[in-house]
Chain A
Amino acid sequence: MIEIRGLAKRLGRRQVLQGLDLDVRAGETLVVLGPSGTGKSVLLKHIIGLMKPDAGSIRIDGEEIVGLSEEQLNPVRRRFGMLFQGAALLDSLTVGENVALAMQEHARGLDEAEVRRRVIERLEWVGLQAAAALKPASLSGGMRKRVGLARALAMDPEYVLYDEPTTGLDPITADVINQLIRGMQKQLHVTSVVVTHDIKSAYTVADRIVLLYQGRVMFDGTPEETRRTDDAMMRQFIEGSSQGPIQPV
């Protein structure tokens, strides 16, 4: 369980997070919606300790992570997998080496054959087993995203943070990824936070949907509640209208 209380973060001249409260319950898949530039990626980076908040608290299974040093954060981070918005693959390494990296670093007991087997398995999940020997530079944006996803799932994480997992994918591949996220939750009981703009993806994977705007959670409900809501902001977002309480930038 992730409990976020009063999270505040100023970046440059913008107060990006303004006392945000949010719980992610054990085993659920929470979808975070919100217009571009609201701070969705910033929120994920706080959860995994890549950014330090100006104020507020983040507890992972009861353990406060705000104020921990890099070294102290490492054991916490090992329980997480994160898919970055831009994939963030190490471009000096091949696709396979990217997926293997954390295993080689943290599970030195694993022999080479086992690492290889797990790398291929993860790549099969995202439909890229043939790409293991390629360098990230030779992949399309959507393929890089999927490699990033394979890498995020490499260490059998308890928590997975997905930053726009289906952005830049064709609808068919997007559905493969949606099913994968769904499967992580159903079969492996992974707790997930999925940041997305893709309403279809949100309805497919979510147990719960929140809307982030102006640094706070503005709506919180199940997919069914979201469909039927008359909350003006949520309606505007679902319908994709430039008219409404959310100001287009």
Chain B
Amino acid sequence: MASGVTPDDIALKGVRYASGRLGDSLAGVGRAATMMLEATQVSLRRPPSVRLIAQQMGAIGVDSLWLVIVVSLFTGAVAAVQAAYQLTSVVPLKYLSGVILRSVVIELGPVLTALVIGGRVGASMAAELGTMKVTEQIDALRAMGISPMRHLVAPRVLAAIIMLPVLTIYADAIAIFGGYVVAVVVVNVPSPIYLQGLREFFEMKDLLSGLVKAVFFGSIIGMMGCYHGFETEGGAEGVGRATTMAVVSSCVLILILDYILASVLFRIIFA
């Protein structure tokens, strides 16, 4: 250690760096939340046009439906294989569909849908808005006295909030179907037993808690897509950076929020 740098110094530097990054991220989440507040205020004064919201809902649905279908089909299939492996010789196989149902409806359906859409839609929102920012299209709206919060942000966030639960219901149904195929064809569970398990284990509060999660995840995706789009600086490179940031931050926030919601929803509200 000729220069007098000790491992402690290096560790300290690392901690400072990490906490700096964490601080930056928290500040970013704060600014994004402030932006949402502003968009809400502006939209309460005068609501965004239904046509713009519908357009965004269409974009989200069309962009993502096939992805959601593929992802949830295989998620259900994997859930069935896993459950069969873990349950065999422990409990009767009639519980198989119950396990699949619950894990899909509470956890896998909402979270995987949100991660997939966070990638697909969050990225395209950030790229589109980022391009509009660097080509002064957002300034042009402001100069015309048109609020970008009402015209651009509110329709995107609302559309994401509406579409996430819708897509999650699709995802749940398709995943359970994927599980059914594997259970019946591969694990040789008789079809009536699988269906009976679904009926026995279905609980409305499971489905609802999954959909409540989806609503929150939708708002995160819309919020991060818009925030990073609006923060874009510096040409095409900046747009690329914003796109990455939107995807990474929404995925991380979705997983963190999933933990918080799981604690809150199951311990308190749906207990």
Cβ–Cβ contact A90 & B143, under 8 A: no
B146 in complex: contacting residue of A49, A75, A88, A105, CB < 8 Å: A105
Q: Which residues of A contact B22 (CB under 8 A)?
A: none
Question: Which A234-248 residues have a C-beta within 8 angstroms of B?
Answer: none
Contacts of A78 in B (CB 8 A): 144-145
Q: Which of A79-87, A109-117, A213-221 contacts B (4 or more CB under 8 A)?
A: A79-87
Q: In the complex the two chains form, is B144's CB within 8 Å of A102's CB?
A: yes
A50 CB-CB contact with B under 8 Å: yes
**A48 close to B (CB within 8 Å):** yes
Distance A105 CA – B144 CA, assembled complex (angstroms): 9
Whether B196 is near chain A, meaning CB under 8 Å from some CB there, is no
Interchain CB contact under 8 A, B139 and A84:
yes
Answer whether A106 and B143 are a contact pair too, CB < 8 Å, given A84-B136, A89-B137: no
Contact of B146 with A101 in the complex, beta carbons under 8 Å: yes
User: Is B82 an interface residue, CB under 8 A from the partner?
Assistant: no
Q: Which of B107-148 contact A (CB under 8 A)?
A: 128, 132, 135-137, 139-147
State which of A45, A82, A91, A105 has its C-beta within 8 Å of the C-beta of B137. A91
- A46 CB within 8 Å of chain B: no
Which residues of chain A are near B137, meaning CB under 8 Å? 88-91
Docked pose: A84 CA to B139 CA in angstroms: 9
List the B side residues contacting A73 at CB < 8 Å: 145
What is the bound-complex CA distance between A92 and B143, given in angstroms? 18
Interface pair A77/B143, CB less than 8 Å apart: yes
Q: Which of B128, B132, B144 contacts A77 (CB 8 A)?
A: B144
A74 at the interface (CB under 8 A from B): yes
- For A, the interface residue count at a CB cutoff of 8 angstroms equals 26
Is A230 interfacial (CB-CB < 8 Å)?
no
Nearest-Cβ distance from residue A114 to partner chain B, whole angstroms: 18
Pair B142/A50 contact, Cβ less than 8 Å: yes
Bitwise interface map of A from 23 to 39 toward B, beta carbon under 8 Å scored 1, else 0: 00000000000000000
Task: Looking at the assembled complex, report how far the CB atom of A65 sits from the nearest CB atom of chain B, in whole angstroms.
Answer: 13
Q: Are B146 and A50 in contact (CB under 8 A)?
A: no
Q: Mark A89-110, 1 if CB is under 8 A from B, else 0.
A: 1111000000001100110000
Which of B42, B135, B139 meets A50, CB within 8 Å? B139
Give the interface centre of B141, B142, B143 by most chain A CB atoms within 10 Å: B143
| CB of B167, distance to nearest CB on chain A (Å) | 23
Query: Which chain B residue lies CB-closest to A84?
Result: B136
A231 located at the interface, meaning its Cβ lies under 8 Å from any Cβ of chain B in the complex: no
Q: How far is the CB of A11 from chain B (nearest CB, A)?
A: 12
- B142: chain A residues at CB < 8 Å are 49-50, 70, 77
Q: Are A84 and B144 in contact (CB under 8 A)?
A: no
Q: Which of B128, B140, B146, B147 has the most CB of A within 10 A?
A: B140
- A48 contact set on B, CB distance < 8 A: 143
Partner of A70, one of B132, B136, B140, B147: B147
User: Inside 8 A of A86's CB, which chain B residues have their CB?
Assistant: 135-136
Taking CB atoms and an 8 Å cut-off, the chain B residues in 140-195 that contact chain A are: 140-147
Residues of A at under 8 Å CB distance from B?
A: 45, 48-50, 70-71, 73-75, 77-78, 80, 82, 84, 86, 88-92, 101-102, 105-106, 151, 155
Return 5 A-B CB contacts under 8 Å, by A number.
A77-B144, A78-B144, A90-B132, A91-B135, A105-B144
Q: 8 more A-B contacts (CB under 8 A) besides A82-B143, A90-B141, A101-B144?
A: A50-B143, A74-B147, A84-B143, A88-B139, A89-B137, A90-B137, A101-B146, A155-B144
